[in-house]
Amino acid sequence: MKKAILTCLTAAGLALGAGPALSAGKLSVYHWFEYIPQELLDKFAAEHDVEVTMDTYDSNEALLAALKGGKLGSYDVAVPGDYMVEILAKEGMLDTIAAGELANKGNILPQWADVSFDPGRMHSIPYQWGSTSFTVSRDAYQGDIRTTDMLFNPPAELSGKINVLDSQGELLALASIHLGIEQCSNDKEKLKQLNALVQGAKEHWASFISDGAKDVLVSGEAAVGMIWNGFSAKARGENAALEYSYPKEGYLVWMDNVVLLKDAPNRENALKFMDFLLEPENAAAVTNFAQYTAGVGGVDDLLDAELKASPELNPPADAPAGQFVQVCEEATQVLYDAIWTNLKK
Amino acid sequence: MAGPGNSRGFQGVFTPLRYWLLLPSWLVVGFFMVAPVLIMLVYSFLTKEFRGGVIWEFTLAAYDQFFLDRGLFGDEPPKIEWTYIGIFWRSVWQAGLATVLCLLIGFPTAYYIATRPPATRNIWVFLVTIPYWVNLLIRTVSMKFLIRDNGPINEWLLSAGLIAEPIHLINTPVAVQLGLFYSYLPFMVLPIYAAIERFDFSLCEAAADLYAGRWFALWHIIIPNVRPGIVAGCILVFIPSLGAFLAPDLLGGAKNFMIGSLIEEQFKGTAGNWPFGAAASMILLSVVLVVLFFNARNRATQTSGAGH
């Protein structure tokens, strides 16, 4: 007879302690992972006597897919990036914030008060913004790094030690900037050029990693890595040889925005939450946590001194303005999809 | 005491309930297997909606995109599209190699375990399964830390003076193979172990009495007898490897699409082409079914052949 080696463990540790005191209302947040300090959510919950629940996603596209897949109506607010605000609005997934509904709307900095992806800020408020470019390990390379050649036409000693983001929109937009062609072009010659550029550059690239973009640089696995500025600042904290570049050809900027979702179950609390995030003190708390930049005025004095002076957040004076990733028409987008599939086949 | 009549009587207790007792299984199979596959089958013939979703108009566009190349701008005469066939072929090749590696390591391991005294066998089986109590993602990430250029393995080899340059494994196909092989090895060991454990080793003694050598006994006595275990192990390794994208993404650097990541991209990517993702899934399912079908037919022929 064989002895049974499997022991059944009865999970008896489910302590059914008293739940939290019943709150007057609820707020359901759909947010990026690791992008808001828990203390801030607790503070809002305490101030307004609201029970806050949060689910997270890891990409703008995942947010869209979830909302399309039937999650619309179960969340009050979400935090899409710039181009995704435009897409969600076109898909009819956003509610309109009427004039006067947000008491703190005036706190928004003038340059972000009216933006191309949400004219008049009808559906959204700024959360954080930053840039997308690349970071180079100064141990591996001492020359001039302020050029997109570092990614697309790298010096021989860096070939095979480059990581790029596994993100179609950002990579192809940065490649377009490198070539000096406009985004969402449907000009055949320009697209063939773009296709040839990324095909040729791929042999220099070691990997397409987004969530580990910081780790590959810190560990030295990559000597050059495409990355977001705040993520790069965190990387520099772990490896001092890393330097973020603002290339002369240009770079990408992005802004994450809090939007009011259509059919929000707790619309009132959603508006309260948006007002809460527009207060300089709370916006500063997010910035100190995420290390990007707030879109709200009066934040500067509340930031950590080190963060305020960080080279990642302060482009050199001669750096050009960054470009947002643009939303293409369907017929054009298909062409960019084909280039991307062709790149990764 | 329990005679045949007794046991029939025991079964009889459940007879009126028979169909109701099967109901949960039918519901599970129906809801979680048949229905999703049917939805994907239908979606693969629908028109894509921009940025995810489907429009209810019948079209073969998804299958056309898979098999026919009309150029970047869709205005060239159609040729055979090798892009997706290439991605499938790479996945099949990689899964096949992982299966062979698992078999090469798994068979001797299973044989070793099955030939231990009964009291210690369970400990060995237990040891094989222990690493699998940890989530696959965590194991794959740990493997990445171990094998990278300045990871502990390279550091140790360098400090021991065995190599002069770090062995470059990370982001190569070798690393992907290592990941797949490691992820699915127990799926090969356990079925083969179960088969060898049931094998009657007196047959080997009989073969030895008749002057059969060790290798002859292995090839002509043991392997034919434990064949079902080997086949089951191969299927259990091959099929999940075919759809795997964790190892290719984390250890291979996500440079190239695998079947799994290609399909994921269609549902989660920028453009969101659900019908194409559904069509690719259907084609993958067909490939798997063909493999299983040939295996089943092979087995049927073998069994009937053995009867003669």
Alpha-carbon distances, residue A304 vs A236, A287, B50, B225 (angstroms) = 16, 9, 43, 71
Is the residue at B7 inside a domain?
Answer: no
Which of B 199-228 lie inside 8 A of A, CB atoms?
Answer: none
Q: By CB neighbour count within 10 A (0-12 exposed, 13-18 middle, 19+ buried), where does A55 fall? A: middle
- Cα–Cα distance, B158 to B161 (Å, whole number): 5
What integer pLDDT is reported at residue A20 of this predicted model?
A: 44
**Same domain for B141 and B289?**
no
**Same domain for B240 and B300?**
no
Q: What is the CATH number of the domain that holds B224?
A: 1.10.3720.10
**Same domain for B122 and B198?**
yes
User: What does DSSP assign to residue B148?
Assistant: S
pLDDT in tens, A41-60: 999 999 999 999 999 988 88
**Same domain for B192 and B294?**
no
Output the average pLDDT for chain B.
85
CB contact under 8 A, B83 and A337: no
User: What does DSSP assign to residue A264?
Assistant: -
What integer pLDDT is reported at residue A1 of this predicted model?
A: 33
**Same domain for B132 and B246?**
yes
**Same domain for B192 and B283?**
no
User: Among A215, A208, A167, A169, which residue's Cα sits nearest to residue B248?
Assistant: A208
CB contact under 8 A, A65 and B272: yes
pLDDT in tens, B141-190: 888 888 888 888 888 988 888 888 888 888 888 899 999 998 899 999 99
Distance from CA of B100 to the nearest CA of A (A): 25
**Same domain for B247 and B304?**
no
Is the residue at B232 inside a domain?
Answer: yes
Is the residue at B170 inside a domain?
Answer: yes
Domain end, chosen from B215, B235, B256, is at: B256
Is the residue at B176 inside a domain?
Answer: yes
Domain end, chosen from B256, B278, B298, is at: B256
CB contact under 8 A, A337 and B270: yes
Kindly report the backbone phi and psi dihedral angles of residue A228, in degrees, each rounded to the nearest multiple of 5, phi listed first.
-85, 150
- Cα–Cα distance, B308 to B179 (Å, whole number): 44
User: Domains of chain A by range and CATH?
Assistant: 25-129+255-308 (3.40.190.10), 130-253+313-344 (3.40.190.10)
**Same domain for B158 and B291?**
no
Chain B residue nearest residue A344, CA to CA: B256
What integer pLDDT is reported at residue A14 of this predicted model?
A: 31
Is the residue at B52 inside a domain?
Answer: no
Which of A 172-211 lie inside 8 A of B, CB atoms?
Answer: 188, 191-192, 195, 202, 205-209
Q: Predicted confidence band at B13 (pLDDT cuts at 50, 70, 90)?
A: low
User: Is B129 within 8 Å of chain A by CB?
Assistant: no
What integer pLDDT is reported at residue B10 of this predicted model?
A: 59
Q: Which residues of A touch B148 (CB under 8 A)?
A: 219, 221
User: Is B36 within 8 Å of chain A by CB?
Assistant: no
Is the residue at B47 inside a domain?
Answer: no
**Same domain for B219 and B113?**
yes
**Same domain for B239 and B289?**
no
- pLDDT of A9 higher than 60: no
- Rounded to an integer, the average pLDDT of A67-74 is 89
Q: Which of A62, A87, A338 comes nearest B72 by C-beta?
A: A338
Domain end, chosen from B219, B234, B256, is at: B256
What integer pLDDT is reported at residue B202 of this predicted model?
A: 87
Asked if the ipTM is above 0.90, the reply is no
Distance from CA of A322 to the nearest CA of B (A): 21
- Return the higher-pLDDT residue of A8 and A320: A320
Is the residue at B142 inside a domain?
Answer: yes
Range of the domain at B288: 258-308
User: Is A344 within 8 Å of chain B by CB?
Assistant: yes
% of residues, chain A, pLDDT over 70: 93
Is the residue at B108 inside a domain?
Answer: yes
**Same domain for B188 and B303?**
no
Range in A23-32, A223-232, B15-24, B248-257 with the lowest mean pLDDT: B15-24
How big is chain B, counted in residues?
308
Q: Which residues of A touch B253 (CB under 8 A)?
A: 163, 206-209
pLDDT in tens, B128-139: 988 888 888 899
**B163, B120 in Cβ contact below 8 A?**
no
**Same domain for B270 and B251?**
no
- Cα–Cα distance, B27 to B34 (Å, whole number): 10
What domain count does chain B have? 2
- pLDDT of B263 higher than 60: yes
